[in-house]
Amino acid sequence: MRPPPRSDDVDPATRTNLTNAMKGEALAHVTYRAYAKQADRENLPEVAALYRRTAHTELREHFTEQAKLIGLVGDNVANLRDSTGGETYEATTMYKNFAAQARADGDRQAARLFSEIADDEAAHRTRFLQATKAVTDPSSGTVVPTDVKANPVAIRAGGPQVSSSRTLDNLRTAMKGEAFAYAKYTLYGDKARETGQPRLARLFHRTAAVERTEHFAEEANLAGAVRDTPANLCATIKGETHEGRQMYPDYARQASAAGDTATAKVLDDTAKDELKHAKAFSGELSRLGKQCPTSS
Ligand SMILES: [Fe+2]
Ligand SMILES: [Fe+2]
Ligand SMILES: [Fe+2]
Ligand SMILES: [Fe+2]
């Protein structure tokens, strides 16, 4: 993935940590929405509501605050340039390689999916290039295309549908990329709307929907990313605890040592939020009368 637009306010190591944190926040947001749907299916409305509230915090507070710290959102042209770069990488390199590896490993379904997504990303790239022309050269008569429509795919609870561990790793990497693209395009779309570019806002938001409800969803099905609610809760508690006890405190210490005081404060506050999330999800697990396996 290309680095986001430069902001020279933070130390390079802090920037790397923030980018990594944002990928985790984006993945948590998208995953929690899928877990909420699964809780709906199991008729567990309180669990579903907690997942939806927490998903909102991960994107609209944590991801958004971190995005501000590294200057992720630029002007519309910079955002389009960044998006075009990301789509190019996915279409011409990442998904092409993943498809070839899945084919070599005999994971034909995954190979087909990776190839189909590569074609979609190439189409996203074309639309972003057209939008760039429309925004930078209005006299050209080019308009921002908005002909993007997501065909949402339901995520079923179940185990992985692939045979090789390399395919599974690639699916997980791809899911992180899709979640990050979703979160980024959501913010880029908001920026376009705020700056009086409703067509561009629609393009970003609709493309975001494709990344989450089609690409991520199809990959999640093959990767077995959603299980029954007790298992989802255990995975969630483990992730939130790691972020709250280890990852964010480490990042905060590193930011503080590098002189990024404002960032360190944000990261410390985020650590506290994650521990609250872990506690709330543990409460739901107890209410269901379940426990997590001690090995996890
Ligand atoms: Fe978070
Ligand atoms: Fe895309
Ligand atoms: Fe995608
Ligand atoms: Fe969290």
Q: What is the pLDDT of residues 189-224, one digit of tens each?
A: 999 999 999 999 999 999 999 999 999 999 999 999
Please give, one letter per residue, the 3-state secondary structure of 20-83.
Answer: HHHHHHHHHHHHHHHHHHHHHHCCCHHHHHHHHHHHHHHHHHHHHHHHHHHCCCCCHHHHHHHH
289 Cα–ligand 2 center, Å: 41
30 Cα–ligand 1 center, Å: 12
DSSP three-state, residue 288: coil
For residue 154, the model assigns a pLDDT of 97
For residue 17, the model assigns a pLDDT of 97
Q: What is the pLDDT of residues 26-45, one digit of tens each?
A: 999 999 999 999 999 999 99
**Residue 228 in this model has a pLDDT that exceeds 90:** yes
DSSP three-state, residue 151: coil
117 Cα–ligand 2 center, Å: 8
Residue-range domain boundaries for the chain: 12-143+152-236+259-287
Residues around ion ligand 4, judged by CB within 5 A, are 240, 274, 277
30 Cα–ligand 4 center, Å: 12
Q: Does domain 12-143+152-236+259-287 have CATH number 1.20.1260.10?
A: yes
**Residue 74 in this model has a pLDDT that exceeds 80:** yes
Integer Cα distance of 44 and 72 in angstroms? 37
Integer Cα distance of 125 and 143 in angstroms? 15
Integer Cα distance of 138 and 134 in angstroms? 5
60 Cα–ligand 4 center, Å: 12
Integer Cα distance of 90 and 3 in angstroms? 14
121 Cα–ligand 3 center, Å: 6
Closest CA to 57 of 226, 280, 210, 217: 280
pLDDT tier for residue 3 given thresholds of 50, 70 and 90: very low
13 Cα–ligand 4 center, Å: 23
For residue 295, the model assigns a pLDDT of 61
274 Cα–ligand 2 center, Å: 29
Among the bound ligands, name the one nearest to the CA of residue 94: 3
User: What is the number of alpha carbons within 13 Å of residue 193 lying toward its C-beta?
Assistant: 11
210 Cα–ligand 3 center, Å: 7
What CA–CA distances, in Å, run from 134 to 128, 138, 193, 199?
10, 5, 16, 10
Integer Cα distance of 205 and 250 in angstroms? 34
